[in-house]
Amino acid sequence: MTSFDLTGTSEPWVFFVPEGAAEVQRLLSDLETKGGQVHHFDARDLVTEQGVYRSFAEVLQFPGYFGRNWDAVVDCLDGLCGAVTGGVGIVGVIHDADRLLETKHFPLFVSVLCQGADRANSTVDLDGDPLDRPAVTQHFVLEFREFDREMIALHVEQSDLTVTKGDGFVGAALNPEAWH
């Protein structure tokens, strides 16, 4: 597996990997050693949009005013509190992600994860003004039992994302031409 970083604030924001990849496990351990948090999601809870909203709100402790829509997910990912991030950052690990590939909302879900992580990992707001907080590490890892790099990339590719393929992983980040 080609090296990538889950402990820093550089993209890609979303990684698609084989289940149990040793390098991923090492990076998750490194993040926890630095004080960051690893949060786990079961893909069975994410096969519907309402399931995504419910699971993310519960696991990541979204505020009570969370609007249960995609824009609200982005806003809440950007504003995660120290209790959830350990003041350092998070990695959300989605287990059994094979279940999500064929769902209608999968492309939008990946884009939303990239949008939230892009904002959290930034030191400036959407207008380019400095934020009153440091960048907070935020990445998402989707683990696949049957990892087919080409098939996953085909399901992820869309005009608002940049998709990279490495040895043993696929990465996704926002396409700067579409977003910045």
Tokens standing for 171? 């990465």
DSSP bridge pairs for 144: 18
CA distances in angstroms from 122 to 49, 70, 118, 142, 173, listed in the order given: 26, 20, 6, 22, 13
- Taking alpha carbons only, the member of 86, 153, 152, 90 closest to residue 121 is 90
pLDDT tens for each residue of 92-129: 999 999 999 999 999 999 999 999 999 888 866 666 77
| Cα 170 to Cα 175: distance, rounded to the nearest angstrom | 15
DSSP character at residue 133: S
| Cα 19 to Cα 96: distance, rounded to the nearest angstrom | 8
- Taking alpha carbons only, the member of 57, 33, 36, 61 closest to residue 45 is 57
DSSP character at residue 106: H
This prediction has a pTM of 0.94
pLDDT tens for each residue of 5-44: 999 899 999 999 999 999 999 999 999 999 999 999 999 9
